[in-house]
Structure 1
């Protein structure tokens, strides 16, 4: 069940936003750590995990499969692997990570496992991973479009071997298969055929974490991944602060000419911090890293940019919001796949930024945004946390921006409205 909409007026900034923020852990890292821990040969601990809708539903899905997942301590989750088994019913919510990471694990279970989620989850692309699992001998029933609702009839093992996939719609198709592949009898050699796979940093995160769990991974050939069969080690995973979740807070510094520091940022990150720094610098920010964390400082100018966002597509809504407030036009390309995210983000951004007064042209793979005099409007959020973030950023500089539903931010950061209001009112 989805919650009732929670309307929310975006607070306008009254001065430069200057703050140090401490954010919960990365959703992407938490999801991968949960799956690897569930498939390991001993217990694991996840330190500083993200507790949000996506990750609590992932934990619940693993429990349904017979894994011990103790999340009573917010800062330290303990995972005790068990024998995977059905029957089980898994609610994916609206999470791509659950609908793409857990079916391969469910195929390793003994029994029937059913997947479904929020209404829009049935529209999210899933067919490539379903077809790849079928090619590997897994018995799956899917909808007419190859998506949810899904039924996996697990046989307790997957032989593995070789499979071909078109992962141009989501890097999660590759990650979902790779995360379970060490448990396949023959491992997995997975080859991508099609347009480029988006969000390459997320794939690198998957292979880094597999290696950290003891898996043998070869990605030396472009678009081919080989995971050797073998055990995964239980271990302690320390989750980094969520870089995508930090984007609106960094944007607040840029819009208001302030400075925001993300505390606890590691010296070596598995997230695409370098690409984020490049983009924010191009837009007019100064980005520095110190022992205190990662700091973004506004210079008083927001510049229009031309950028390929294919590696960091999660940032598109916030980058688009900054572009609508910039001093010149922007063109954001390379993100055709975000039409299959929580909503069709390209269309949604074109609609909502247009309602606020920007001149927006929609391309198959992105947007051209020409800033104009912006005005208040009700910003629909489409059950999409990133759309809510974009609206909040616009609202810093434009009075009268009302979010139709801020509750959707619970997907990855339940405390977003409170954190944001505190940040802005201290300005």
Structure 2
């Protein structure tokens, strides 16, 4: 395992994806989970005293969260830690939060959906906005829910970003229903703030589907670590009592979804890749990689707190519902183009509203390289060259402002010479060290 210290800066522009000219034999550490880092930053800002986040993620998304909290008067200090990816964070909560602030969410869905309810606790107006490429991301249901809870919001009648929260120092809370079919972050954002609501929260999901349930489980578990017990009387229903949140030092797990392209690389290029610090239990969707990669033909093993994936006798096509783990879809599509039979992923209509329409972007990119991929209303079907007889060719892989699209292009490039990712800088959103780690995996080339 390398003991190097990694640069927090991501390269920009085109990236000629390197081809793996030999089987891999790599052992890597992966930076902290974005989902956990941003949840713990919110809870630390609401806690009854200072909290330390140990080995948190340092990326565009986490920096946006830190900057947003600082704009509300929360003190977030960088303090030396042991992670090779950056410092620990010491968070001193503020009460009440400052008004007269602007929260720029960048492209971070967690920031726009988690910080918006906190703006109701501010003593004045808080403008919530985002990068122009993220203004399309769904927020209408969140705005409606916040209004039902007593938050005063001026959105100009557009039900979208940007909008102004006219903070009154407290949020009433109460009983509401919400349709979180397009994003589980609506549920998590409300649950995280709920202990500080005047009367707590009784929340019901009323939509047909609830995507990314593991992320909601992650939120409930994070609240429990700080002494808040969330009742779940029925599926899609949560009750959070009003009360205080414990100050606590929290170690952040590695981001298991960011580990996905590295583990999948062993199956594409041959050999094996080991990721250190793999937790024995995790609510991260990436925890399901072990089972999914094994189903697709990988050989998976655990030893000494690490997960290893080695190439098996080929990559197998599958038919999977990815509704609980939709963020893994781009990496799994990258695997599917090398499979021995067609693959269908479904239950993922909601990823059309992520950084880009991921279903459309994946289908277009695979097709541009000479492959075959078909959009479905709630998924994607990949027919690999092993079936079509067509060979994948060189070409441009478009990132579409989407970090997971960029890493998938690099994954396919391990076996297809001449693949160029048009903007590798998008990886800075959750993994600015991606190219450093990718080169290290390939033997430091």
Q: Against the structure 1 CA distance between its residues 71 and 353, is the aligned structure 2 distance closer, same or farther, given a 3 Å change threshold?
A: same
Distance 2:107 2:31 in 1: 20
User: Does the residue aligned with 1:36 lie in a helix, a strand or coil?
Assistant: helix
CA drift of 1:264 comes to 1.2
Q: 2:331 aligns with which of 318, 327, 345?
A: 318
How far off its partner does 1:176 sit?
Answer: 0.3
SS of residue paired to 1:113: strand
Alignment match, 1:79 = 91
The answer to whether the 8 Å contact 1:255/1:300 transfers is no
Deviation per residue, 1:136-189 (Å, 9 max, x gap): 111112255411101101110011111110000000000000000000010000
Which residue of structure 2 aligns with residue 157 of structure 1? Answer: 170
Q: Does 1:404 align with 2:422?
A: yes
Distance 2:430 2:42 in 1: 18
Secondary structure, in 3 states, of the residue corresponding to 1:369?
Answer: strand
Counterpart for residue 13 of structure 2? 6
What residue is the counterpart of 2:246 in the other structure?
233
Which secondary structure state, in structure 1, belongs to the residue aligned with residue 167 of structure 2? strand
Pairing of 1:23-422 with structure 2 (within 5 A): 23-73=30-80, 74-83=86-95, 84-142=97-155, 144-372=157-385, 373-422=391-440
Task: Please name the residue that 2:388 is paired with.
Answer: none
Quote the Cα distance in structure 2 between the aligned partners of 1:79 and 1:159: 25
C-alpha distance 105-28 of structure 1, shift in aligned 2 (>3 A): same
In the superposition, the TM-score normalised over structure 1's length comes to: 0.97
Q: Larger deviation: 164-173 or 4-13?
A: 4-13
Q: Distance in 1 between matches of 2:305 and 2:235?
A: 37
Sort the Cα spacing of 1:217 and 1:417 in 2 relative to 1 into closer, same or farther, 3 A: same
**Deviation for aligned residue 1:359:** 1.1
Q: Distance in 2 between matches of 1:268 and 1:346?
A: 30
Give the superposition deviation at 1:72.
4.8
Alpha-carbon deviation of 1:41? 0.6
Structure 2 distance, partners of 1:210, 1:143, is 34
For residues 331-363 of structure 1, give each alpha carbon's deviation from its aligned partner in whole angstroms, at most 9, with x where no partner exists. 010100000001000000010011011111101
Shift of 1:39: 0.3
Contact 1:8 1:406 survives alignment (8 Å): yes
1:267 CA displacement: 2.1
Matches of 1:247 and 1:219, distance apart in 2: 31
Quote how far apart the aligned CAs of 1:274 are. 4.8
2:7 aligned partner: none
Q: Secondary structure at the match of 2:259?
A: helix
Question: Are the equivalent residues in 1 in contact too, given 2:257–2:285 (CA < 8 A)?
Answer: no
Query: Structure 1 CA distance, aligned partners of 2:79 and 2:208?
Result: 43
> Structure 1 residues 11 and 283, CA, compared in 2 at 3 Å: closer, same or farther?
same
- More divergent stretch after superposition (114-123 vs 175-184): 114-123
Q: Contact (CA 8 Å) 1:13, 1:425: kept in 2 or not?
A: no
Q: Which runs of 5+ in 1 are unaligned?
A: none
**Structure 2-normalised TM-score?**
0.93
Once the two structures are superposed, what CA deviation does each residue of 1:370-414 show, in whole Å capped at 9, x if it has no partner?
A: 012111110110110000011011000000000100000000011
CA-atom RMSD in angstroms: 1.4
